Chains A and B, each alone.
Chain A
Amino acid sequence: METTTTTTTTTTTVRLNHKPFPLFLLTLFLGLASTTFSQSSGSLRGKVLFESHEGHDVGPGHADHEPEYESLPGAYVRWSRDASHVEVTDGFGFFKISGGILGDTLLVSMVGYQTAGLVYTGQSYVDIPLEPGVELGEAEVSAKKSATSISLLDPLNIQSLNRKELAKAACCNLSEAFETNASVDASFTDAVTGTRQIRMLGLDGKYSQIQVDNLPGPRGLNVIQGLMFIPGDWVNEIHISKGAGTVTQGYESMTGQINVALKNPETADPLHLNIYTNSGGRLEYNHVSKHAINRRWSTAILGHALMNNTLNDRNEDGFLDNPLKRNFIVRNEWKFLGDRGIRGEYAVNYAQTESAGGQTLSFGSAADWPAIRDMMTTPDSSWSAITNIDRLEFTAKTGFVFPNAEWRSIGTQWSFSDHQHRQRFGESRYTGKERFFRGNVLYSDIFGNTNHAFTAGMSFVSDEFDETVQQPDTIRGDYDRHEIIPGGFFEYTWRHAERLSVVAGLRYDHHNMFGGIWSPRLHARWSATENTSIKVAAGRGFRTANPFVEQQGAWASQRTWTGLDAVYESLQPEIATNVGVNLTSKFRLNFRDASLALDAYSTWFENKLVVDFDQSVNELQLYNLVGESFARSLQAEFNWDMHRRWDMRLAYRWVDAHTSRMNGKPSRDPYVSTHRAFSQWSYATATEESGAQWRGDATVQWVGSMRLPLTGNNPEVFQRDEYSPDFLQVNLQITRQFSSALSIYLGVENLLNYKQDQPIVGAEYGDNSVTQSEFDAVFDASMIYGPIFGRMSYVGLRWGIPSPSAK
């Protein structure tokens, strides 16, 4: 029974997640429903329920909790005197039975449950809980599932990473979660702030659409730092979709979509705690808990605190290797599971981060946060970088699936965020405020049968920016804008005989600054054989650039921003088209499951805001694309469940990304490695009865050479090679699972202790001394291609009350 229910719930989740529904309409529907039902006299309607396991297993301390009930579809309902008239409960556990006579007994039965009898006294509605008839123990089904999976049936090329995969490298937040993934590259923006950015298909993460629970995630001014606001321990699954993706979620996706499914009142364990510390001095605490309020409402509380008060300067260049940090993030999610297919998810998220980096002289011998906060406004004589971000976010999703027509649904999604970013890097200051609102209404239905399904809807976006930039005695600018974008979309899904499915979508958005823009998207899947599928994708997307936050690294240099006024006077959208093809094949190798996925994608820009580091070492030039810009990528990934204890993965990806730069400067995009390969090996002992297990994971990654911005104008000692050296990075982690509740993990990142040589241009390395005027003329901490800190070990502990259904 447990299994059936879980399956049903999961399917419903998937279906409903994105088809929310407005509460006011909901009331209307309920009203209509009750009117309809009360018309037939002598009939009884009601709902059959069962007590779900969550209710029992919250722990002894929660004995007074109201048990949690779930609807029971497929139960038989009949009057005791009339065995010929039997009703069956619908998908939501509801039934309606006529012919009731006062005093009759209503019998409700279901395989695996004790039959319940209820005397009819003229009630119009009853809730009938069934007691399990056959005892189900704590042992649950756990089909051996690989940690990453690619579906052969989905027309979209989506790779899913589950908790098991995410636990292989105890990543601290989303920006670090892609270490074991071939599709996404992660690198530092600069040597000062410790900020990581991602790249997909050879293009910056800003060209992918990152979503959290299918709602807008890191974007706008939060596009880079937002990844750090998603702690790894909060994440339930990550879905990486290559190609433009669906039109129902907006116009911003070009290279792909990354949807992060956070733990929620449904998927979270009752309690999960994590502490982590590393040799860089970072200390982290994560908390996830869920609480059932009543039969319909449940809530989850997610908390994260990060602290780094340790001053590290291992390469003795006078700069901190890792920034000092204080981050606090809290999230509260509410889930409503109503009768008759109504479902809602509501969340509030607050993040506050403080970070300080730069020359060690600025910080004395210990982190003194009140003094650091003062440094935001009053810099001292050495170079420091202070960043402060406050962000508040509200989201609401409500969905309604029509009873007896599970293919028909209405949903609404609302997001609101208020983002404030303040920073001072040396003498340069930046303040950015963004107020974002988005509403999305979706209606899904079918044409005739479920082989022809469609989703249509409308969206409204209001995005208000207020940015102020100040650079020493040269530039001071206020850049405000208010984007208002109403849009509409239609997406048609056609399935043909299991072999073929096509998702064709079109959306039109009317942008108040750019006018109307069409975004067509097409995805198709053809199953050549049962185990091999070919997918093609094509699509167009657009976005507005926010260079001040997107070029986070440039602030950590003496470069001045040029071309700003020209760009902002007639702001243009970045528009790109992406096409791609994927072949996924699953087969058996040495009697064990294996898969091979081959990808080829190409993206080209109609317009792009070019950020040019090559014109001068003292400038960062911005201009709209003249000429061409494209990125091509090829990828091969081989996964093999090679032994009962061993899993392995080999992956290689090739990228060729170019952008025309003015004055004949090199077109190859900087910081993009043409070749990258990695191999991952996982070992796990057999799980003992108690849940105890040892696991080991090793990742070997080879990052090829990248082009670096030209430094030929610098004095020779401050010049850098045009191409970075390639390097190897090895990560190891050992996890000891003591029981399903407790585990400890211990790991080493960058085992070979590879460090980028002389990462900061203008810092003192070895014996060379740098005068203040030299420093002012050449300083650049953004020329980062590899690790700065070197070998880093970490240890962490996870403890919690596991869900009865997860093992």
Chain B
Amino acid sequence: MKQLITIAFVLVSIVSFGQKKAETTFVVQGLCGMCEERIESAFDVPGVINADWNVETKELQVAYKTKKLDENKLHALAAAAGHDTDQVKATDEVYAGLHGCCKYREGASCGDHDDHDHDDDDRAPQP
């Protein structure tokens, strides 16, 4: 067992700690939980370690490997999914393909933005 754990840790270290990393935060336009899902899956690409978009602050926090990506590429990823950043705007074609309620340029609304992580709210039903 001990050997197994050691091997596991060694593997993990090789895979994830061997490269230069950076983390950045920038504003990505969007409106709702659907947008969040779209934005975050746009960053589901090699080189991105973690991407987390906050529906309230519109801030996207991305950790990435500097060898594979840089900030410009990150902005481009958001725009390619239809979401503007302060540096790169989505093309009209891509933007037009967004779901009706995600048309942030027109000020559409998904109503409520209360869909952030509820991990700490859904406690086990207490009798």
Number of interface residues of B (CB under 8 A): 44
A 72-93 binary contact with B (CB < 8 Å = 1; else 0): 0000000000000000000000
Q: How many A-B residue pairs have CB under 8 A?
A: 136
Residues of B within 8 A of A134 (CB): 100-101, 108-111
Docked-complex contact A591 and B63, CB < 8 angstroms: yes
Q: Within the assembled complex, what's the spacing in Å between the Cα atoms of A215 and B117?
A: 28
Asked if B126 contacts A18 (CB within 8 A), the reply is yes
The size class of the interface chain A forms with chain B is: 35 or more
Q: Which of A185-193, A466-474, A642-650, A653-661 contacts B (4 or more CB under 8 A)?
A: A642-650
Q: Complex: how many Å from CA A487 to CA B49?
A: 55
Q: Mark A144-188, 1 if CB is under 8 A from B, else 0.
A: 111001011110101010000000000000000000000000000
Cα–Cα, bound, A13→B41 (Å): 31
- Asked whether any CB of chain B lies closer than 8 Å to the CB of A208, the reply is no
Partner of A3, one of B23, B32, B44, B127: B32
Query: Is B118 an interface residue when CB atoms closer than 8 A count as contact?
Result: yes
Most-contacted residue by chain B among A18, A144, A246 (CB, 10 A): A144
- The verdict on A259 contacting B125 (CB below 8 Å), with A141-B34, A590-B49 known, is yes
**One of A4-12, A385-393, A476-484 contacting the partner:** A4-12
Contact with B along A258-298 (1 / 0, CB 8 A): 01010000000000000000000000000000000000000
CB distance from A589 to the nearest CB of B (A): 9
Interface assignment of B121: CB less than 8 Å from any CB of chain A: yes
Q: Which residue on B lies nearest to A702, using beta carbons?
A: B1
Contact between B127 and A592, CB atoms less than 8 A apart: no
Residue A366 lies at the interface, judged by CB distance under 8 Å to chain B: no
Most chain B C-beta atoms within 10 Å of own C-beta, residue among A3, A442, A592 = A3
- Name the B residues within 8 Å of A27 (CB-CB): none
Q: Verify A7–B115 contact, CB threshold 8 A.
A: yes
Q: Interface readout for B17-58 with A: 1 if CB under 8 Å, 0 if not?
A: 100010100000000111011001100100011100000000
Cβ-based interface call for B99 (8 A): yes
Q: CA of A624 to CA of B103 in the docked complex: distance in angstroms?
A: 72
**Bound form: Cα–Cα A644–B109 in Å:** 29
Minimal beta-carbon separation of B82 from chain A (angstroms): 13
For A10, the chain B residues whose CB sits under 8 A away are: 118, 122
CB distance from B35 to the nearest CB of A (A): 10
Contacts of A144 in B (CB 8 A): 40
Tell me how far the C-beta of A252 lies from the nearest C-beta in chain B, rounded to whole angstroms: 13
Is the pair A143, B117 in contact by a Cβ cutoff of 8 Å?
Answer: yes
B109 near A590 (CB under 8 angstroms)? no
In the complex the two chains form, is A728's CB within 8 Å of B1's CB?
A: yes
B111 touches A135 (CB 8 A): no
Asked if A643 and B16 make an inter-chain contact with CB atoms under 8 angstroms apart, the answer reads yes
Please pick, from B12, B37, B121, the residue contacting A11 in the complex, using a CB distance under 8 A. B121
Closest-by-CB residue of B relative to A700 is B4
Do A591 and B50 touch across chains, with their CB atoms under 8 A apart? yes
Q: Does B123 contact A (CB under 8 A)?
A: yes
Tell me which of B50, B108, B122 contacts A14 (CB under 8 A). Answer: B122
Contact A249 to B1, CB < 8 A, known contacts A3-B114, A139-B34, A591-B21: no
Task: For B40, list chain A residues within 8 Å (CB).
Answer: 144
B111 touches A141 (CB 8 A): no
Beta-carbon contacts of A1-36 to B below 8 Å, as 1s and 0s?
A: 101100100110110011000000000000000000
Judged by a CB distance under 8 angstroms, whether B14 is at the interface is: no
* B119 in contact (CB, < 8 A): yes
Please determine whether B33 and A143 come into contact, CB atoms closer than 8 angstroms.
yes
Q: Is A112 an interface residue (CB 8 A)?
A: yes
Q: Which of B4, B109, B118 contacts A143 (CB 8 A)?
A: B118
With beta carbons under 8 angstroms apart, the residue of A1, A17, A135, A590 that contacts B100 is A135
Q: Which residues does chain A contribute within 8 Å of B10, judged by CB atoms?
A: none
Across the interface, which residues of A come within 8 angstroms of B123, CB to CB? Answer: 14, 151, 153-154, 156, 158
Interchain CA distance A180-B114 in the complex, whole Å: 32
Interface bits A345-362 vs B (CB < 8 Å: 1, else 0): 000000000000000000
Residue in A111, A135, A153, A642 whose beta carbon sits within 8 Å of that of B109 in the complex: A111
B1 touches A686 (CB 8 A): no
Q: How far is the CB of A516 from chain B (nearest CB, A)?
A: 22
A158 and B126 CA atoms in complex are apart in Å by 11
A153–B114 contact, CB under 8 A? no
Q: Are A239 and B124 in contact (CB under 8 A)?
A: yes
Interchain CB contact under 8 A, A160 and B122: yes
Neighbouring B residues of A13 by C-beta, 8 Å: 125
- Answer yes or no: B86 CB below 8 A from chain A CBs: no
Complex: how many Å from CA A432 to CA B32? Answer: 57
Report the Cα distance A156→B123, complex, angstroms. Answer: 9
Query: Cβ of B116 < 8 Å from any Cβ of A?
Result: yes
Q: Which of B12, B21, B126 contacts A642 (CB 8 A)?
A: B12
In the bound complex, residues from chain A placing their C-beta under 8 Å from that of B17 are: 590
Tell me the nearest residue of chain B to A678, going by C-beta.
Answer: B1
Q: Is B92 an interface residue (CB 8 A)?
A: no
Distance between Cα atoms of A7 and B63 in the complex (Å): 30
Residues of chain A within 8 A of B126, CB atoms compared: 14, 18, 156, 246, 248
- A675, closest chain B residue (CB): B1
Most chain B CB within 10 A, of A156, A261, A591, A648, is at A591
In the complex, residue of chain A having the shortest beta-carbon distance to the beta carbon of B46? A644
Cross-chain contact A249 with B101 (CB below 8 angstroms): no
CA gap between A379 and B63 in the complex, in Å: 69
Q: Is A679 an interface residue (CB 8 A)?
A: yes
Instruction: List, in ascending order, chain B residues with CB within 8 A of A590's CB.
Output: 16-17, 21, 49, 63
B residues sitting closer than 8 Å to A (CB atoms) are 1, 4-5, 8, 12, 15-17, 21, 23, 32-34, 36-37, 40-41, 44, 48-50, 63, 99-101, 108-112, 114-127
A-B contact pairs, 11 of them (CB 8 A): A4-B114, A13-B125, A134-B110, A137-B100, A146-B119, A153-B123, A154-B123, A214-B125, A590-B21, A679-B5, A679-B8
Q: A11-B121, A590-B49 are in contact. List 4 more A-B contacts (CB 8 A).
A: A151-B119, A154-B123, A592-B49, A642-B16
Lowest 3 CB-CB distances: which A-B pairs, in order?
Answer: A141-B33, A591-B63, A239-B124
